[in-house]
Amino acid sequence: MSADPKVLAAMDCFHRYYRFREAARGAGGSQSRYEAWLDYKVAILRRDEQRCSVCGQTRSMTDLDVRPQHPSGSAEGLSPDNLVSVCVYCDRSAGVMLRNRRKSRLA
Ligand SMILES: [Zn+2]
């Protein structure tokens, strides 16, 4: 049995996305919305092989963030299909949409 790592990574994204949605409406059990978001974000970065969608460079986890391709303001806008990895260098020059970068920086 050989599972495609890309498929597994995509499934992991969806799994964590649902967990994040649960946490966001207060049904996440012990996991806070913020923790669930970090978990989810890491899954997206892994799916994208830590490659920035703007400059194409592979970056460290701490230099990457995720951003909606099509900002909608709704929770659906945060689905895995709509999130792309962007490095902090491109994010800075592009004038930023996610305000919590400093808070969400991974240790
Ligand atoms: Zn970049």
**pLDDT tens digit sequence for 71-91:** 776 667 899 999 999 999 998
Centre of ligand 1 to C-alpha 92, Å, is 9
Whether the per-residue pLDDT at 28 is higher than 70: the answer is no
Centre of ligand 1 to C-alpha 46, Å, is 15
**Rounded CA separation 59/4 (Å):** 23
**Rounded CA separation 17/1 (Å):** 26
Q: Under a CB-based contact definition with an 8 Å cutoff, are residues 49 and 65 in contact? A: no
pLDDT digits (tens, 9 = 90+) for 40-83: 999 999 999 999 999 999 999 999 999 998 877 666 789 999 99
pLDDT at 60: 97
Centre of ligand 1 to C-alpha 86, Å, is 5
Task: Name the pTM for this structure.
Answer: 0.79
Centre of ligand 1 to C-alpha 64, Å, is 8
Centre of ligand 1 to C-alpha 80, Å, is 19
Centre of ligand 1 to C-alpha 36, Å, is 24
User: What's the whole-number average pLDDT of the chain?
Assistant: 85
**Rounded CA separation 45/12 (Å):** 11
Centre of ligand 1 to C-alpha 30, Å, is 34
